[in-house]
Amino acid sequence: MSMESPNWKAQWRGWRTLRGLRPAAIDLERIALIRTAPLQDLAQAGKLEKLLLDLGLNDEGIDEFPAALHPFCGAGLRIWQYPSQFSKYLLQLSGLQVRSYLEIGVRHGGSFIATVELLNRYLPLEFAFAVDILPAPSMTEYMQLNARATFECVSTQSPDFEALLDRLPSLDLVFIDSHHEESQCRREFAAVRDKAKMIALHDISNINCPGIARVWEDVTRMESFQCYEFTDQYEGMGPYMGIGLAVARSRLNCG
């Protein structure tokens, strides 16, 4: 790859950003809010959205969050999602019988943990894998609280990631939320496409991530998937974030 190519420059900017990032501890005691919540509350979008706020949001990129959410940022699980989008996405998953899960790009681990804990309330997971190129110390502690969860610090562009996929059985759901650069997202999607029954992408409507929007647009054209979008926005913001969920039609046809 030429050092003058746009792709190389984007990679270089990404690597420079990664070198400056540091993991933050998250408050795993808040997991109890999910484990003790009444099941009927988890089936209501409004109550689930409120639960996500109580679990705590990330404060990195806080300008993408409306001021009303700032009191919930920088504490708890540090979930890096819009609760208005994430709650509806999780409700969609509740009816899809997810038994195995892989998340690519977990930052501090909060969104992964929230997803796994909620999926476990709907239907117990057989296993959940998380990967990130950066360390996530709180994930080590979480693995002691959930024996079916595993975290590996690995680059998805390396043979180690290919080896990880090779040793995993087929996956019900993969969530791609890593570098947010188009070519990497395409490679990650291609790597899991034949392995996963459902694939979700984050930042499909983020004004700062046009490459992910292009990947998602291509996914929606694939006849083998039924696609869903969760892109609710807060007034005067963005658009930011956004989740796309592609479900294999063969999965839907199996009921």
Domain assignment of residue 232, yes or no: yes
Residue 143 pLDDT level (bands cut at 50, 70, 90) = very high
If one counts the domains in the chain, the total is: 1
- Of 50-54, 60-64, 73-77, 149-153, the range with the lowest mean pLDDT is 60-64
Domain assignment of residue 15, yes or no: no
Domain assignment of residue 221, yes or no: yes
Report the candidate in 239, 208, 243 with the shortest Cα–Cα distance to residue 13.
208
As a whole number, mean pLDDT of residues 54-62 equals 94
Domain assignment of residue 7, yes or no: no
Which pLDDT tens digit goes with each residue over 192-246?
A: 999 999 999 999 999 999 999 999 999 999 999 999 999 999 999 999 999 999 9
* Mean pLDDT value across the chain: 90
CATH number at residue 205: 3.40.50.150
pLDDT value at residue 24:
80
Domain assignment of residue 1, yes or no: no
DSSP letter assigned to residue 134: S
Supply φ then ψ for residue 157, to 5 degrees. -95, 10
Which pLDDT tens digit goes with each residue over 2-54?
A: 334 444 344 444 444 444 567 788 999 999 999 999 999 999 999 999 999 99
Separation of alpha carbons 114 and 118, rounded Å: 6
Residue with tokens 């409120």: 50
Residues of the domain holding 141 = 21-253
Which pLDDT tens digit goes with each residue over 112-131?
A: 999 999 999 999 999 999 99
Domain assignment of residue 4, yes or no: no
pLDDT value at residue 25:
86
Side-chain half-sphere exposure of 210, counting CA atoms within 13 A:
1
